[in-house]
């Protein structure tokens, strides 16, 4: 097994995500989350020749929104909230579900069938809708304003999104653990007197290590998708700022410029100024592609096989028909001729 840090797929994905996070923290630290505003376009003589929204250019690589705010700055500021929240949700799911799943697979093999039948029903529950109803009282700003801080709301959202999928992941891990303890080398260890706890630490967990990393990456991508869905439903990470002015009220807005909020704020502008909603959509897509690269690189480095690119089986060459005479031994052919 070669180091994952030498695998190009893993490095590409890691550098992209780490670079986004570093750029987000540096930009926020230097500018104090200030978003440049380019309301008007001037020519060389100082005359106004255009206004916002502006399409992508050298000055504004991702264009500006209707108010003239730079979309590139918004995406950079919101990167740290979106990516770190997705990592936190995936990590919490794994930390809670993996121990539960291994204990279920080793200690409760007889009752696992009934648990699996009950948990399978969770696959048919719309996860985004369930998350929306649980998170709406936390993230939707009441008329009197929020009574909690932004980071407290983010922490509550991370915990709720993580716990919602713990039963499903636990059953998945328990099934894998149950399959591992039926292997011959594990049965031999049990015959020699190894206890169940030793089987978990010496056999089950080492065998699941690669799959746990793959599962972590998949959960991170699934969390990003849920963030995007909640953004379309106007429920933004960290809270949705709502104006209750009956005459001049603004539409719901994101507080932290995280990507799901940028989608929810602008997806209706897709036909008019497409670069505005496409900016957070592309950010989501590139981040998920980077996570896929990391999964592919890790699997290649640890197992020597590919996770996404399955090798095609080569067709065996067809057997050449051989005559009866050539198939017989030479001594038998001479005997036939002499007789």
Residue-wise pLDDT tens digits, 282-338: 999 999 999 999 999 998 888 777 777 765 555 555 555 544 444 455 544 544 555
For the cut 90, the answer to whether the pLDDT of residue 158 exceeds it is: yes
Name, in order, each residue with C-beta under 8 angstroms of 158's C-beta and a sequence gap of 6 or more.
85, 88, 89, 92
pLDDT tens sequence across 237-293: 988 888 887 776 678 888 888 999 888 878 888 888 888 889 999 999 999 999 999
Q: How many CA atoms lie within 13 A of 277 on its CB side?
A: 15
Which pLDDT score, from 0 to 100, does residue 324 have? 47
The sign of the dihedral angle between the CA atoms of 240, 246, 251, 257 is negative
Rounded to two decimals, the pTM is: 0.83
CA distance 10 to 21: 17
The residue whose two tokens read 């570093």 is 22
**Integer Rg of the chain from CA:** 29
pLDDT tens sequence across 115-149: 666 666 666 778 888 899 999 999 999 888 888 88
Mean of per-residue pLDDT scores for the chain: 82
């Amino acid at each position: 097994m070669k180091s994952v840090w030498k695998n190009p797929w893993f490095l590409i994905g890691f550098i992209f995500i780490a670079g986004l996070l570093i750029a987000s923290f540096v930009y926020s630290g230097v500018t104090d989350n200030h978003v440049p505003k380019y309301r008007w376009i001037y020519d060389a003589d100082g005359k106004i020749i255009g206004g916002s929204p502006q399409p992508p250019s050298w000055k504004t690589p991702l264009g500006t929104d209707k108010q003239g705010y730079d979309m590139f700055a918004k995406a950079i500021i919101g990167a740290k909230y979106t990516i770190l929240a997705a990592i936190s949700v995936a990590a919490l799911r794994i930390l809670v579900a993996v121990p539960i799943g291994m204990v279920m697979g080793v200690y409760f093999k007889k009752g696992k069938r009934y648990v699996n039948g009950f948990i399978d029903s969770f696959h048919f529950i719309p996860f985004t809708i369930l998350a929306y109803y649980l998170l709406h009282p936390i993230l939707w700003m009441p008329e009197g304003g929020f009574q909690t801080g932004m980071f407290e709301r983010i922490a509550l959202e991370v915990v709720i999104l993580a716990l919602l999928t713990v039963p499903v992941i636990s059953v998945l891990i328990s099934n894998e653990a149950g399959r591992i303890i039926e292997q011959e080398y594990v049965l031999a260890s049990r015959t020699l007197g190894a206890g169940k706890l030793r089987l978990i630490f010496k056999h089950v967990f080492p065998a699941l290590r690669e799959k746990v990393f793959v599962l972590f990456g998949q959960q991170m991508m699934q969390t990003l998708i849920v963030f995007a869905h909640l953004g379309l439903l106007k429920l933004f990470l960290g809270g949705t700022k709502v104006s209750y002015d009956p005459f001049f009220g603004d539409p719901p807005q994101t507080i932290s410029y995280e990507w799901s909020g940028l989608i929810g704020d602008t997806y209706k502008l897709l036909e008019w100024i497409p670069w505005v909603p496409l900016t957070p959509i592309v950010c989501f897509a590139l981040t998920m592609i980077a996570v896929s690269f990391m999964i592919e690189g890790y699997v290649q480095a640890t197992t020597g096989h590919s996770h996404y690119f399955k090798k095609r089986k080569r067709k065996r060459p067809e057997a050449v028909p051989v005559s009866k005479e050539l198939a017989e031994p030479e001594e038998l052919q001479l005997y036939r001729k002499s007789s």
